[in-house]
Every structure is written in structure tokens, then in C-alpha cells.
Structure 1
Amino acid sequence: MRLSVFTSILLFAFVGAVGGCSGSERLTYDGPKEAYTKGISQFEEGDYKLAVRFFRGVLEYGRGNKWAANAQYKLAMAQRKRGKHLVAASEFKRFTEIYRNSAKVAEAQFERANSYYLRSPMYRLDQSDSRQAISLFQLFIDQHPNHRLVPEAEKKIDELRAKLAHKKYAAAQLYEQREMWQAATEVYVDAFNKYPDTKWADEVLLGAVRSYVQYADRSIQKKQAERYRKAIKYYNRLTQLFPESKLLSRAEELYSEAQRKLERVQAQEDEQSLARDGGSRGSR
């Protein structure tokens, strides 16, 4: 019994010692102004984790205090510096919701979009963050068309759209490699329709021409003419939109092939039509 009591005393002493160590790590500041000043100091020194703690300390005094808005903005930036981009996006969003009359609202909207931009992975991976960044950058542009950050937002939208186009192009190429011609044609055409202003546009049009020729070659006769015409259609679009493209020489070869095969199919259809007409007359 005495041993049990003694063990309990030792346990409480140990917990108290740990708590004392933990307590020694607590931040000290006399009010929101001092917490904010210390947070800025740590931010500038590169200790973003400690800066976050001080900025949160400012907000403990209420989100309406004199230093709260700047603390909230800097809190988001400190999380960005720590590589916590989703957390940063959430903190920037909170800033725009709570401090709607602040002069920094537009910048916070831009930085929220930028948080998703910084999470955008290489083109082969899931592009959910890229799409979210595009959506938020566009919202920022629509709401603040004259802001100094609009050109940067537009540049980043173009970059992200090019990445999405590249992903589509790679998917269509994969369908080609697997000889899934219908899927290849659909994805190439969709890539062009969605991203006609990216550097991949002439590539996807050439892919559409190429895959439609292959698709037609493997189609039943009554579908071939329609699909060769589609190849010719996208060749014409390529030459009209990108007359200086380095891909035109290859496109011209495919066009000639599609045109030749279309003429052959049409001749076969005409012969079959004449044979049917002759058979009908002979049976009368």
C-alpha cells in the first residue's frame, strides 16, 4: 500500500516536471501589439513556426483588435513559408471573410489562388489544384480588373492551362499507342476545344488528323468517308490557325492520305450504288 502511494507521488512529480518544461516554452507578451511585433520579428528572422504562434496570440485578444487584420494576413503568409499551402489558402480565405473592408482583401484573394498554384503538380498527376487556382485567379481578375497583380494572375492562368492541355495531349497519345482510335480522336478534339490558345493547340490538331485517318482505316465502309472528312476538317483548321507551325509538313502528308482514301471510298460507294440501281432495273 505504501509502495503504491509512493509510486503515485513519483508519477505526479514526473508529470509536474514535464508540465513545467512545457510551460517554459509558452510565449510571453503583454498584449496584441507586443505579440504582433514579436511575430514580425520571428517572420523576418525566418522562424515561421514561432511567428505563427505569435500571430495566433494576437488573435486571442479578439479579431477586432488594432493588430488583428495584419496578424491574420501575416499568419497566412507564415504558413505559406512553412510549405503549408492548403492551410495558407484557408487563412487567406478567412482574412477575406472577416476583414472585407481591408485594403489587403484583393491581395489576399490573389494569394489564396497562389496557394493552389504552388500546389500544382507536374502535368501527369491529378490537376485538381491547378483547376482551383485557375478558378480563383479568374475570380480575382473579375473582381479587381485594374489591380497591379492582374498581369501576374493572367500569366499564371496561361501556365496552368498549358499544363492541363499537356495532360490532355498525353492522354490522347496514350490512347493512340493502345490503338484506341475513337478515344484518341475524342480526346484530341476535346483538348483543342478547351485549350485552343495554348502551345499544345497545333499538336492536338495534328493528333486529331492522324488518329482520324487511323480510325477511318479500321472502320466499316459506311463510316469511313465521314471519318476521313473529319481528318481533312482538322487539317484545314490547323493550316488556318497555325500557318507557321512546324507540324504542317507532316499534316500535309496525312491530308493527302485522307483525301486519297476518301476518293477511293467514294468511288466504291458510287460503284455499289450503280450496281444496286442496275439490279433493281433488271428485276423489273
Structure 2
Amino acid sequence: MFLQKMKKALLIVGVLLLTVSCGEYQKLLKSDETGKKYTAAEQLYDEGKAEDSNKKFRKALRLFEQIVPKYRGKPQGEKLSFLFADTYFELGDYYNASYQFERFSQSYPKSQKLEEAAYKKAKSFYELSPRYDIDQTDTRKAITELQSYLNAFPQGDHVEQANEMATELRVKLEKKEFEIAKQYHLTGEARSGNYRAAITSFNNFLSENPGSPFREGAYYYRFDSAYRLAINSFRDLMEERLKTAMEYYKDYKKYYPEGEYTEPIEASVEEIQSRLQNF
């Protein structure tokens, strides 16, 4: 019984303190006391970091929004500008974070926080990168920003993470390109011209992406597109197209003698050789 009363009393005290705290915060927001707002915003930012609290970051952000313009050109402006950008970053508002980190870098090009700002700006675009099948403007922007960070800070604290993110994003772009070419292949039966488009797309993919994890698939589907185009051709076009398919088969076997697609590709080659005997 005593413990229950104690718990209830502590709860009431906690609610009252929270109410007072919220009331003081609201008063501070409406006040003109810039110095107190600066101190409170920095404290809320630090507490947000320590507690991983979005609530604290959101409170800090409202204060930062009010006072950042008032400190531009002043000694406190550099630190305040960085904290403002980083609060957006911590809240996952990556569009505003990237914009504010850019402003910080332009305003304070000699800052000790310049590397961190460059990295977090690049990472903001990385976080904005969508699924591979959606427009990849932000992905390309992220790769550009990550490369800029790596060029500017080749011995930086975040080089390993930046390289990993850039590689991941490049693979995403390769997957999009590969899937577009593959879609031409998959729709070739309904429209034979799509087989030709698939061959062109896979040729471009192979020449532009020498280290891609999708290269084996590209070699196979290029062959399969050529094979299907050939066997569905008029007789006067078939022989030449069958021979082209055989050249693509040789390319696949050169790089992947025991590859994933060995069984289906060998079955198709048997038919090609059988048809070529009729010419």
C-alpha cells in the first residue's frame, strides 16, 4: 500500500515537472531572450544526442530556427550553424540537412567541422536514394557528393563508410540498367524488335560496367535475346543471326565456363547447331 502511494506521488511530481518544463519552453519560444534560447537549444541538442531523443531534437530545432539568423557573422555563428544542420540530420530530415550542411561549408570553409559537414551532406543524399526502379537523381547526386568527400578528405575519418556507400549506390544504378535491358528481353516474344533493343542494351551495359555483379546475367541474356531473335527470323536472316548468337555464347563460356546459366545455354546451343546444319 505504501509503495503504491509512493509510486503515485512520484508520477504526479513527474507530470508537474514536465508541465512546468513545457510551460517554460513555450515562454522561451515567445521571448526575445536570444542568449537563453542559444543555451537552451544547445542543451536540448546535447540531451537529444545522449538520449537518442527525437523529441529533444525537435525542441532544439524550433529554437535554432529562431536564432540562427541572429548569430550570422558572430563568433557563435559557426557552431550554431553546424548544430542547426546536424539537428535536421539527426531527425532524418535529409533534404534540409544537406542544404544546411552546404550553407555551413560555404560560410565557414576553414572550419574544423568541414569534413564532418561534407560527409553528412553526402550521407544525407545516400539516405534519400530510392529503390532502384524509381528515378535515381538523388542516387547520382549522392555518388557525386561521396566522391567529392573522398577527393577532399582522402585520409578522412569516414573514408571507409563513404566508399562502401558509393559502391552500394553504383550497384543500385547497375541493377536499374540491367533490369531495363532484361525487360526488353522478357517482352521480346510479343515484339521481336525488343530482342534487338535488349542486345543493344546488354552490349552497352557490358562495356560500361566492367566490374558489375550483373555481368554474368548480362552475357547470358544477351545470348538468349540473340538466340530467340534468330529462331524467330525469316530464313534469309536466320543463318547470320544464329552465328551472332554463337559468338555471344563463346563470350559467355570464356568468362563463365561453369556459370549459373550453363544448363539452359547449352540446350539452346544444341538447337542453334542443329539449325545451322540446314544452311
TM-score range, shorter chain: 0.7 to 0.9
CA, structure 1 residues 51+256, in 2 after alignment: closer, same or farther (shift >3 Å)?
farther
Q: Which residue is 1:43 aligned to?
A: 48
Deviation of the 1:148 alpha carbon: 2.8
SS in 2 for 1:30: helix
Q: Which residue is 1:168 aligned to?
A: 177
Q: Deviations over 1:63-118 (max 9, x none)?
A: 33333223222222221233321111111111221111112222222211211211
1:26 aligns with 2:30: yes
Q: Which residue is 1:120 aligned to?
A: 129
Cα RMSD (Å) of the superposition? Answer: 2.8
CA, structure 1 residues 38+171, in 2 after alignment: closer, same or farther (shift >3 Å)?
same
Indicate the percent of aligned positions where both proteins have the same amino acid: 24
Of 190, 193, 204, which residue of structure 2 is paired with 1:190? 204
Counterpart AA for 1:50 = K
| Conservation of the 8 A alpha-carbon contact between 1:96 and 1:105 | yes
Q: Which moved more, 1:108-117 or 1:243-252?
A: 243-252
Which runs of no fewer than 5 residues in structure 1 stay unpaired? 1-21, 269-284
CA, structure 1 residues 157+240, in 2 after alignment: closer, same or farther (shift >3 Å)?
farther
Q: Which residue is 1:181 aligned to?
A: 195
Q: Which residue is 2:260 aligned to?
A: 246
SS in 2 for 1:167: helix
Q: Which residue is 1:200 aligned to?
A: 214
Deviation of the 1:123 alpha carbon: 1.8
**Hey, what's the Cα distance between the residues in 1 that align with 2:86 and 2:206?**
37
Of 61, 64, 80, which residue of structure 1 is paired with 2:73? 64
SS in 2 for 1:216: helix
Q: Which residue is 1:235 aligned to?
A: 249
Q: Which residue is 2:223 aligned to?
A: 209
**Hey, what's the Cα distance between the residues in 1 that align with 2:122 and 2:78?**
19
Counterpart AA for 1:140 = Y
Q: TM-score of the superposition, structure 2-length normalised?
A: 0.74
Number of corresponding residues: 244
CA, structure 1 residues 207+96, in 2 after alignment: closer, same or farther (shift >3 Å)?
same
Q: Which residue is 2:94 aligned to?
A: 85
CA, structure 1 residues 183+24, in 2 after alignment: closer, same or farther (shift >3 Å)?
same
| Conservation of the 8 A alpha-carbon contact between 1:185 and 1:212 | yes
Counterpart AA for 1:207 = Y
SS in 1 for 2:125: helix
